[in-house]
Amino acid sequence: MQQYATKKDILERAQELIGIPFKNIDTKGILASGKGAIGNLIQECWFGIPVNSDPRPDFVEADVELKAHPFRYNRNGQVVAKERLVCDIINYMEEYNKTFETSAFYLKCHDMLLLPYEDKINISKEYFSIAKAVLFSFPEEDLAIIRDDWGKIISKIKSGIAEQISEGDTLYLGACTKGANSSSLRKQPFSYVLAKQRAYCLKTSYMTYILQNYIFGNIKNEKIVSDVSMLKDKTFEEYVVEKIDKYKNYSIDELCDCFKIDKKKPIKNKESLLAFNILGLKSNKAEEFIKAGINVKTIRLNANNTITESMSFRTFKFKEIANQTWEDSDLQNYFSETRFLFIVYKQDGNGILRLKGCQFWNMPYNDLEIEMKKVWEITKKVILEGASFRKVDNKNTSDLPKLRDNKVGHVRPHARNSNDVDELPNGKMFPKQCFWLNNYYILSQLNSTFKDKE
């Protein structure tokens, strides 16, 4: 029998922990032992539960899992999760045989004692302390999405492609890599290919939402699915696709008329705003998209089924790339975690853009870990060498990867103008750059239904 046997006992004891520096409770020297130590510290030294590998929640009688989790304040002063919340390792050999209710994730994490602590930059973690103590169980509408996420992960195991699982496949519940390094491999049941070891996790974007809305505040955003019964016979993504599909072939002006938007008023990214309107939202913010960290991108197809422009992303800092490895690079993290919603418009014979529909997408595992990795590594090499950055005929040029060098991506300027510069490791200044997805690569990723001849 555990000492803290009810939720009430647990929460009361947890409340007493708030504000106490971790070094003051560390009677066993756990902090010195390394990663994951804070959860272990609280479990052992504060609640007296020995660390174990029991598949059941830490508080067995109360059926509650203890989770300490770091947060930070962003530039705007908002609380944001520092990282995803990692749960159990996914045992590919066993997990596919289970139901969601008996999965290792749900069995352990259906109810959690969340203990967020601020992770302060340049301060030793022994001075950190728990900021809040909250008992958390998933809202019904989140559970509907998490259940589908789980199904997606399992279906890749059942298809014998566990090695192609990516965190970007899913919305709230992810499968993140876990292990000493990327060579930690495991067997899978329907293929001889070894797959990277992965663990169930709640995505960083989801944890940020929990922190901002359930723990520290109560910001309300518009929901796409206002009632969970709307997802009775379809997934969230299917619901979105079907809804947008109802306005197939509407021109931008026609859509503006439908939603009473001033056609002449300059609005940034009107095409995506119209898609949000179709989904029943007034703003271009949806609770589900924020939780899932979904990135909405508009794609314009020409009448002859080509795409003119490549797709840009945020600018990078030369020195950041120079100091990172691929595994901890912003680019790898971004494309492995991020799910996209493409809103697809296509020019008709008269050059008028018409809505064709939408498509959820994330970068396939091999495109990221083989192709994009090459682009990143060449970029790093060119930045470190530094010699190729030069001016020819008054134009800045360099040996950074170009459009035809790689089928997935390239590097190009992304700045206000050529005077908007960033410092290279050798001290030279050069226009800010970003990674781009090649226009022809994007085209290759689009559903064939968008490319049909009219």
Partner DNA sequence: GCATGATCATGC
Residues 115-154 close enough to bind DNA by CB under 7 A: none
- Among the listed ranges 5-13, 137-145, 247-255, 312-320, the one in contact with DNA (CB under 7 A) is 312-320
Distance between CA atoms of residues 170 and 293, nearest Å: 10
Site for DNA contains 453 (CB under 7 A): no
Closest to DNA by CB, 260 or 404: 404
Least distance from DNA to the Cβ atom of residue 238, Å = 23
Distance between CA atoms of residues 227 and 276, nearest Å: 18
Site for DNA contains 305 (CB under 7 A): no
Distance between CA atoms of residues 91 and 177, nearest Å: 13
Site for DNA contains 365 (CB under 7 A): no
- Among the listed ranges 37-45, 130-138, 147-155, 416-424, the one in contact with DNA (CB under 7 A) is 416-424
Least distance from DNA to the Cβ atom of residue 127, Å = 31
Least distance from DNA to the Cβ atom of residue 83, Å = 19
Site for DNA contains 220 (CB under 7 A): no
Q: How far is CA 258 from CA 252, 262, 276, 280, in A?
A: 10, 11, 13, 12
- Among the listed ranges 125-133, 204-212, 221-229, 265-273, the one in contact with DNA (CB under 7 A) is 265-273
Closest to DNA by CB, 35 or 404: 404
Site for DNA contains 298 (CB under 7 A): yes
Closest to DNA by CB, 113 or 171: 171
Among 251, 312, 324, 445, binds DNA (CB under 7 A): 312
Residues 6+ apart with CB under 8 A from 181: 327
Least distance from DNA to the Cβ atom of residue 186, Å = 35
Tokens found for residue 451: 């490319």
Least distance from DNA to the Cβ atom of residue 345, Å = 9
Least distance from DNA to the Cβ atom of residue 282, Å = 12
| Side-chain-side CA neighbours of residue 430 (13 Å) | 28
Closest to DNA by CB, 181 or 394: 394
Least distance from DNA to the Cβ atom of residue 413, Å = 4
Closest to DNA by CB, 395 or 453: 395
Tell me the one-letter amino acid at 45: C
Site for DNA contains 347 (CB under 7 A): no
- Among the listed ranges 28-36, 186-194, 306-314, 328-336, the one in contact with DNA (CB under 7 A) is 306-314
Closest to DNA by CB, 221 or 439: 439
Count of positions on this chain that bind DNA (CB under 7 A) = 39
Binding mask of the shown chain, residues 368 to 407, with x at each position contacting DNA by CB under 7 A = --------------------------xxxxx-x-xxx---
Site for DNA contains 418 (CB under 7 A): yes
Site for DNA contains 431 (CB under 7 A): yes
Site for DNA contains 84 (CB under 7 A): no
Residues 269-288 close enough to bind DNA by CB under 7 A: 269, 271-272
Least distance from DNA to the Cβ atom of residue 445, Å = 15
Which bin fits 351, alpha (ψ -120 to 50), beta or left (φ > 0)? left
Q: Answer whether 201's CB lies under 8 Å from 167's CB.
A: yes
Site for DNA contains 413 (CB under 7 A): yes
Handedness of CA 163, 169, 173, 176 (dihedral sign): positive
Site for DNA contains 311 (CB under 7 A): yes
Site residues (CB under 7 A) for DNA? 266-269, 271-272, 295, 297-298, 300, 306, 309-315, 394-398, 400, 402-404, 410, 412-420, 431, 439
